[in-house]
Amino acid sequence: MKEKIVEVKNLKKYFYLSGKRILKAVNNINIEIYKSETFGLVGESGCGKSTLGRTIKGIYKPTNGQVIFDGKDISRMDKKDMRSFMLHMQMIFQDPYSSLNPRMMVKELVSEGLEIHKIGTKKTQEQKVIEMLELVGLTPEYITRYPHEFSGGQRQRLAIARALAVGPKFIICDEPISALDVSIQGQIVNLLKELQNKFGLTYLFIAHDLSMIKYISNRVGVMYMGKLVELAEKKELFENPAHPYTQALLSSIPIPDPRRERKRKEIPIEGEIPSPMETIAGCAFKTRCRFKKPICDKMEDKLINIGSDHFVMCTKYC
């Protein structure tokens, strides 16, 4: 039986705006993430995937629901308990240009977590920084440099070294390659895979690049309008997409073979994404779905198991 490291139960994150408007960024999400796997999370910009990652991490306080990490409900912890417990959960952000303090040298950036949690002496902390730099493919002489002296790819390597320094079990990667040149993206993803194999790390990998999600993930969840609409093993999801939204997303992936690419038929998604502040009864995708039926107005907010641990939120399978 697979060992769960993260369990998200009925998680909601709402933002209350002026004029009594409510932005339902994360709306009743349920997922389980297993030890040493990479759980890929994909969806259009604004679907709530980054908010979900930040709510799991504790950057945002949940409006409702639970986040259970390593057997403990961290969404109910006070700041003191959470601070020590969250040592084992780290996050790598999208933009390496804004996620690193420009006034801090590399040795200060990478050792910051060690300082906060009082891990080791100054000497052992510096040794740890050197070890982490070498681990991510940077040389020890960079220790006294500042972030502005590095390229985007090098900065993201620094961010990875910083996250690894405190010895986490679980890392949330929030679109860690989208701000990088295409030539560098593959290097960073391969580095993440190497580190996962070396340390037995577990990843939540958030991205909108379906090809990269396919390459790095073990299981994949598809988000739309704050809800998880499909979840399956990678191979199952890419070969047998069940939700109309997933089918449309996958049809847009270019195929390297020119002959097959010419025959590829992209499924268009009609209409505009509704406002995230709009309350939609039933299926959230019904306003853009080519298979819409009256029953979609009454769709229950839950995933249906259609076999092979493949779950989908669609009236076709009720």
**Among 18-32, 137-151, 277-291, the least confident range:** 277-291
Residue 125 lies in a domain: no
pLDDT for res 76: 82
DSSP letters, 38-67, are EEEEE--TTSSHHHHHHHHHTSS--SEEEE
φ and ψ at 31, to 5 degrees?
-145, 155
Q: Kindly state the tokens that stand for 83.
A: 């601070």
- Tell me the C-alpha distance between 109 and 112, whole Å: 5
Read off the pLDDT band of 233 (50, 70, 90).
Answer: very high
**Strands, E, within 86-141: which ranges?**
89-92
Residue 16 lies in a domain: yes
**What CATH number corresponds to the domain at position 249?**
3.40.50.300
Residue 113 lies in a domain: no
Instruction: Provide the percentage of residues in the chain whose pLDDT is more than 90.
Output: 64
Residue 278 lies in a domain: yes
Residue 120 lies in a domain: no
pLDDT, the chain, mean: 90
Residue 32 lies in a domain: yes
From residue 10, give the alpha-carbon distance in Å to each of 117, 125, 170, 296. 31, 40, 21, 21
Query: What pLDDT digit, counting tens, does each position of 153-165 carry?
Result: 999 999 999 999 9
Evaluate if pTM is beyond 0.75.
yes
Neighbours of 130 (CB within 10 A): 17
Total domains in the chain come to 1
Please give the residue range of the domain that contains residue 31: 4-103+162-317
Residue 33 lies in a domain: yes
